[in-house]
Structure formats: C-alpha cells, structure tokens
Amino acid sequence: MLRIEKLKKFKSNFPILVGNNTISNHLCESLIKEISSSETFDDLIMGGRSRINKGSKNFKKYINKSKISKKLFQLFNSKKFYNKIENIFKKNFKNQSWVNLYPPKLFNTKKFTIKKKINSIELKALLGKNYKHTNVNLDIDFSVSKGGYRLRPHRDDITRLYNFLIYLTDIPRKNGGSLTIYKKKAKKNIRKSFKRFPKMSELEIVKSFTPKKGTVVFFQSTPNSYHGVKRFIEKNCPKRFFIYGSYAQNTPVIWKYKDATYYPHIIYSKKRMLTSFHDANYLTSEPKY
C-alpha cells in the first residue's frame, strides 16, 4: 500500500525523507473520493483547510465507512510501522546530531493529541512536568484545501517527533500550495534558542516541494525544522487533497544537539488557542514552571 522503500534522503539542515510514487495513482483517487464523500469536517483552519481529525466522532464515522483510509490509518497507527520509520531515519542519518533525550517506551494506538482551545497555563498543566516517562502516538488528519490556504514558516508542536505528508493531487507550480523548507540565515554551530515562529527576515528557502500525486514527505520535528506552505491559488486546478500526520509524545520532546540540551518554553498567553497552535521556543535553559 505504501512503498516506503522509495523514501530517499534529502539534503537539508534537518532530516527529511521524500518518496515519489510511494502511493499508486489508483489509491490516491480512491482516497480523494473518500475524503470528498465526507458529509462533515471537524474544522476549517489556515484560511481554507478542512480537516477530519483522529480522535473526533466524525473521524470514527469516516474511518468506518472509508475502506482505503481505514487501511492506511491502521498501517500508520502501529508500533511496527513507527519503528520501521524510526529505523529508516537512523539508517539514513547516522551522523545526525539531534537526539531525543527521553525516547518513548510505549506506542499508544488509542491516544491522540487533544485539539481544543486552551490558554498557555492550561496547556502546561495538560503536558505536565515529568518529561522522562514518555509514550508515543499517531496523530493524523484527512484534509482538503481550497484557495487561500497557506501556512507561515514555523517549527511544529513541542511534542512532535516525526511529521509526514501524503499528496493525493498534482498542483501546478504556478498555483502555489508548495511545502517550503527554510533554514536560519546566520550560520552558527550551536544556538542558544530556536523560536517557534521566526521572522521571514531571519530565514532563507532551502527547497519547495510542489504537491505531486503519490509523493510522501517525512521529516524529523527538530527545533530547527522550519517549514511552511505557500498560498494556494485555486484557479484552473484541482483542490489540494492530502493526508497529514505526525508521531507525537505525551510530553514535550527534550532535544540534544552535540553538547547543548534544548528545553521548550511555552509562551504565556491568555488567548485560548488549539493546543498545537501555541507558541513555544526551544532554549538551552530549563523552564521554571
């Protein structure tokens, strides 16, 4: 179903694996039909992205009536597949310096990252203070984007280990919607901090991936894994159908780079936001919560 042997190492400032024709055209068409037939979506975000999120009642209903989506979900939602992906990264990035200090002990098939609006104090309470006893779970959504969808450069949620994207439609380059990889302009061996939402002036483009049917992109969610999506222009082209997922811990990931340890600092905010939308910077000092 998913030809992960097609995944190839991509040269970047953080670990990325890309596979073309990893999923057949036939399966892509089947998945598009299933997503299109969904009567409802869980939310509309980022200017035009409709999602069916793991953990919702709507997701359970969707999976039960969608044969191919269910099969794909079951593949990803297993310890065996997670270990396989992790081993592929270790094999391809032997000299990678980013290390998760407290790797997960258990794969929890039923767990998912809660998508509800809370403030930063509630988020800290939700994540707890003990980062050493970690589990990992799959988060996944089946999405379709209309014109106007875009995503500013950022690094993902502090609980993420690996992210992946599966593109189901071909989008012409002129219509945007490309996954864009960034790196910091200044070159330093060791940094004291990594902002979650850096300014555009601080970044330069490494590579843009135009959505192509059957292409799969995996990347490690390190503190410097900056990426975004260029504004999608829905004109004389199909909608942007894709599947997005991640393997996330139940606690924030503590990363080590060479001799520096990076701890996430959640930025204080009274505003209630989705759990994954909160701002958290990685610093070399331990937070005093």
Written as one string, the DSSP assignment of 29-71 is HHHHHHHHT-S--SEEETTTEEEEETTSHHHHHHHHH-HHHHH
Question: Taking the CA of residue 263 as centre, how many other CA atoms within 13 Å lie in the half-sphere pointing to its CB?
Answer: 11
Question: Is the residue at 288 inside a domain?
Answer: no
Question: Is the residue at 289 inside a domain?
Answer: no
Do 246 and 155 meet the contact criterion of CB atoms below 8 Å apart?
A: no
| Joined tokens for residue 20 | 């073309």
pLDDT of residue 186: 76
Q: What is the pLDDT of residues 187-196, one digit of tens each?
A: 666 688 899 9
Q: Which helix (H) or strand (E) holds 154?
A: strand 151-154
**Helix, strand or coil for residue 180?**
strand
Q: Give how many domains the chain has, as a whole number.
A: 1
Q: Above 70 in pLDDT, residue 80?
A: yes
pLDDT of residue 79: 97
Q: What is the pLDDT of residues 195-235, one digit of tens each?
A: 999 999 999 999 999 999 999 999 999 999 999 999 999 98
**Helix, strand or coil for residue 170?**
coil
pLDDT of residue 271: 96
pLDDT of residue 189: 61
Question: Is the residue at 32 inside a domain?
Answer: yes
pLDDT of residue 258: 85
The amino acid sitting at 195 is K
CATH number of the domain to which 58 belongs: 2.60.120.620
Q: What is the pLDDT of residues 132-187, one digit of tens each?
A: 889 999 999 999 999 999 999 999 999 999 999 999 999 999 999 999 999 988 76
Residues 6+ apart with CB under 8 A from 18: 7, 8, 10, 209, 215, 216, 217, 218
Q: Above 80 in pLDDT, residue 289?
A: no
Question: Is the residue at 251 inside a domain?
Answer: yes
Question: Is the residue at 110 inside a domain?
Answer: yes
- Find the DSSP H helices in 10-169: 25-36, 57-65, 67-76, 79-92, 120-127
Question: Is the residue at 256 inside a domain?
Answer: yes
Give the domain range for residue 102.
4-283
Question: Is the residue at 21 inside a domain?
Answer: yes
Q: What is the pLDDT of residues 238-276, one digit of tens each?
A: 899 999 999 999 999 999 988 899 999 999 999 999 999
Question: Is the residue at 198 inside a domain?
Answer: yes
Helices (H) and strands (E) in the chain, counts: 5, 20
pTM: 0.95
